[in-house]
Structure 1
């Protein structure tokens, strides 16, 4: 299996619909590259105020992630 690593940042903002904003910072070919990106990004304005908002998640490529339909309510 081949994985990529997604670096996400989530922060709470009550003025937004749903109360939070989720940003995809980048997609990396290894966990090490994602961790290096986290280290760089966490020093930037805004991100440095709330570093607990970062998450690295592995994602399998060449696989259907949504295997069922959906219903609109």
Structure 2
């Protein structure tokens, strides 16, 4: 029996500058954070069949306007297909 089928989601975050504060970017390859309420813009660039394909897309995206301004703010997320990611309910304030 084959193992789980995986895909790789490629995200980019444009971090919004907060007046009087330094813009904080990703510091490590597996670092990911975003504050959309503060204006951070999170984009899904694509879904890829391998981590290598996602990283190749990063190389191409870093040449494009906007993405080249935050070249370290890409994140590759490995996901297993047909696996629940949010298994519990939620409440709102």
Fold-level similarity (TM above 0.5): yes
Q: Deviations over 1:26-53 (max 9, x none)?
A: 0001111111111111110111111011
Partner of 1:4: 7
Query: What TM-score does the superposition give when structure 2 sets the normalisation length?
Result: 0.71
Give aligned pairs, total: 73
**1:18-37 alignment to 2 at 5 Å?**
18-37=38-57
Q: For 2:54 and 2:17, how far apart are their aligned partners in 1? A: 28
Q: Which runs of 4+ in 1 moved over 4 A?
A: none
Q: Which runs of 5+ in 2 are unaligned?
A: 19-35
Q: Which has the higher strand share?
A: 1
**1:1-73 alignment to 2 at 5 Å?**
1-14=4-17, 17-73=37-93
Bigger Rg, structure 1 or 2: 2
Q: Which runs of 5+ in 1 are unaligned?
A: none
